[in-house]
Structures are given as C-alpha cells and as structure tokens.
Homo-oligomer: A and B are copies of this chain.
Amino acid sequence: MSQFSIAVLAGDGIGPEVMQEANKVLDAVEKKFSITLKRTEFPVGGYAIDTEGEALPAKTLLGCEQADAILFGSIGGPKWDTLPLEQRPERAALLTLRSHFDLFSNLRPTRIYPGLEGLSPLREDIAKSGVDVLVVRELTSGIYFGQPKGREGEGEEEFAYDTMRYSKREIRRIAVAAFEAAQKRRGKVTSVDKANVLVTSRLWREVAEEVAKDFPDVELDHIYIDNATMQIMKNPAQFDVMLCSNLFGDIVSDECAMMTGSMGLLPSASMNEEGFGLYEPAGGSAPDIAGQGIANPIAQILSAAMMLRFSMNLNDAADAIEKAVVATLEKGVLTGELLPEDKRDQASSTSQVGDEIV
C-alpha cells in the first residue's frame, strides 16, 4: 500500500478551520484509494511567532524537509503587521519556504464556475464568456530576491534600490512548466513582460521563443504587463496559460483571482524541479471572519487535490476531489460569500461544505 507523508502547516486566521475540512477529505481519500497519507502538523506564521518566537521554527522547516509535500493554510494578520519586515509571517515563513525548497513554479488556476458568474465584478457577458486561466508564475527569482538590494546616501539624495534579475536557466524552466501545462489545456501560452522597457523582459521573451520551438503544438504570444491588466478585464476568455515573472505574476494572478469574485475557491501549487511542493489557497488568512465557521474550505481542499496530483502522482484521487467539488457547487451547498445577499440565510457552514465534498 503506497504511503506518503504530508507536513500540515495550518497557520493563522481561517487556516486551521479550512485545514480541518481538507483533512476530512484526505481521510476519505485514504479509504477510497487504499493509500496512507500520513499527516504531521507544524506551527507556522503568526501562531508560531506567538508560541515559538519565530514565524518558521527550525522544527517546522525540518518537518517540511522530511515530508513528501507541504499542505499550507494561510498566515498573517494585523496582530503581526507591526513587526520588522524580516520577522513578519509573509516574509519570514512564506518567502523563506519558497526559496529554501526552490519552489520556482507557481501554478494558480482561476476559473469562473458556471452558475457563479454573478459573483464576478465583471459585466455579465464577460463573466459568462468561459473564463478559465492558469497563471504560471516564477516564484524564486526576479525582483523579489535579486541582489543587490539596499539603501545608500544621505539626506534628500538617500536612495533605495532593488534588482530585477533573471538567468536563461531560470526563465527556461518556468517557461517549460507553462508550455507543458498548456499542452494539457487549450494549447496557448501568453507570456507577460515589459520588453519595451526592461532588459530582463527582453531575455524573457527570447527564451520563451526558444522554448516554444520544442512545443510545436502550443501557440505562444506576448503581451505587455500594462496591456495584460487591461485585457484580463476586457476579455479574460482569450487567455489559456499566462507565463509571468515573479512580480508580474503576483499582479496578474491576483487580478485574475478577483475577476472570478470567488477567491475562496482558488487553490495554488508551488513546486520545485523534483516535484516537491507547497500547496495553499490563493486567498489570505481573512482574520475578520476567522473562528466563525463560515470560511469557504474549497480552496484548501482543491489545494490538497493539486498536491495529490503533482507531488504524489495520485491523479485518480485528485480527479475525484475535483469532481466532488464541482458536484457540491452544482448542488448549491455554498458558504455565504458565494450566495446573493438575500439568500445568505441558506448558507452552509465550513464543515457542512467539507462533509458534502467527503
């Protein structure tokens, strides 16, 4: 019987509640598919700061190293926002995990589910045009990590600087990830850059063109980041896979997420070249609704499905979860934020949605 081990990092805010539902679903998967998914919980984020003195304790990092994958909840909240930047949950835990495990390939699927178009801030005809975009974001290089970075000088001439930097190798591996994903989808990659201004973007474009030669069945086009933010609003159905650098992917994936109007449904995967990965909901820790049992667990559950698919190659199990989610949405077992205001009294709780998916 195959066995996998998972480091479970629930974190802050709604993290622990939605993780509980993902765990229920993974329990069901164990039975149905006769596999063992050994889970070990570790503290992370603000909770770890409060209990262990730091956002990513050594034992958490060690636990992640020993696991086959990390299932991550969400971290951060107003309580820890006044800490120095380096100690804050986002930077000290999330960015550190990304770079420690070289999780360069971030996949963020965003779709508008049939029946939920009314949640989108976009006009009805646009929301109903069949929106299904996969943002493939480079996650361990670019201006987030490029050196040098710092501050120099005195008085009004004091200046700060950051370096956007990409090597061919770094661009190639994320471009390959995007093309491979497009082969399994609608066969189109749109690479996002600012090649009319940035040297990094010109290299990005060159390497994307080189990689395209190895994928004759995939179409490649290029779009400037400023135009991309416009087209996502005007005609999002034109996009299949969007290939982005770290900063542009941060922007594009969040705009795509908002376009669906249902952030609580969106999972994400961050993987390295060995298939090890961190899987987390695209939304945040939502401290305002934490502890009330009303948070949507679907993003966390779909993140677990991505984990089974990408880090454990358990495609049948992943398919089963994804189908159960769609069936649950179709049946109308929905948390409140997915319902029109006048129907919120029919909302299901976090655990009711989890149970239905199980």
Taking beta carbons and an 8 Å cutoff, which residues of A are in contact with B? Answer: 85, 88, 90-91, 95, 120-124, 126, 143-144, 146, 149-151, 153, 155-170, 172, 194-200, 202-204, 225-227, 229-230, 233-234, 247, 250-251, 253-255, 257-259
**Closest Cβ of chain B: how far from A10's Cβ, in Å?**
21
- Which residue of the partner chain, among B85, B120, B163, contacts A161 with CB atoms under 8 Å? B163
Contacts of A196 in B (CB 8 A): 85, 88, 90-91
- Which residue of the partner chain, among B120, B155, B166, contacts A159 with CB atoms under 8 Å? B166
Contacts of A151 in B (CB 8 A): 199, 203
A227 to B204, CA, bound (A): 25
Residue with the greatest number of chain B CB neighbours at <10 A, chosen from A90, A95, A247: A247
Contacts of A229 in B (CB 8 A): 229, 251, 254-255, 258
SS class, residues of chain A in contact with chain B: helix
**Closest Cβ of chain B: how far from A231's Cβ, in Å?**
8
Nearest-neighbor residue (CB-CB) of A153 within chain B: B167
A121 and B233 within 8 A (CB): yes
Contacts of A123 in B (CB 8 A): 120-124
Give me 27 A-to-B residue pairs in the complex whose CB atoms sit less than 8 angstroms apart, sorted by A's number.
A91-B196, A120-B123, A121-B126, A121-B234, A143-B143, A143-B197, A150-B199, A155-B168, A156-B168, A156-B172, A158-B167, A158-B203, A159-B167, A159-B168, A160-B200, A161-B163, A161-B164, A161-B199, A162-B199, A163-B163, A194-B247, A226-B251, A227-B254, A230-B255, A230-B258, A234-B258, A251-B251
Q: A229-B251, A250-B226 are in contact. Are A202 and B160 (CB under 8 A)?
A: yes
A88 to B202, CA, bound (A): 14
Contacts of A150 in B (CB 8 A): 199
B230 and A257 within 8 A (CB): yes
A198 and B157 within 8 A (CB): no
Copies assembled:
2
Contacts of A90 in B (CB 8 A): 196
A197 and B144 within 8 A (CB): yes
**Closest Cβ of chain B: how far from A45's Cβ, in Å?**
14
- Which residue of the partner chain, among B124, B169, B198, B254, contacts A162 with CB atoms under 8 Å? B198
A200 to B247, CA, bound (A): 14
B163 and A167 within 8 A (CB): no
Contacts of A165 in B (CB 8 A): 159-162
A161 and B146 within 8 A (CB): yes
A88 to B163, CA, bound (A): 25
A296 to B144, CA, bound (A): 41
Nearest-neighbor residue (CB-CB) of A159 within chain B: B167
A167 to B194, CA, bound (A): 23
Contacts of A157 in B (CB 8 A): 167-169
A91 to B156, CA, bound (A): 29
**Closest Cβ of chain B: how far from A163's Cβ, in Å?**
6
A123 to B146, CA, bound (A): 39
**Closest Cβ of chain B: how far from A201's Cβ, in Å?**
8
A196 to B94, CA, bound (A): 12
**Closest Cβ of chain B: how far from A292's Cβ, in Å?**
22
A140 to B156, CA, bound (A): 17
Contacts of A149 in B (CB 8 A): 199
Residue with the greatest number of chain B CB neighbours at <10 A, chosen from A90, A121, A169: A121
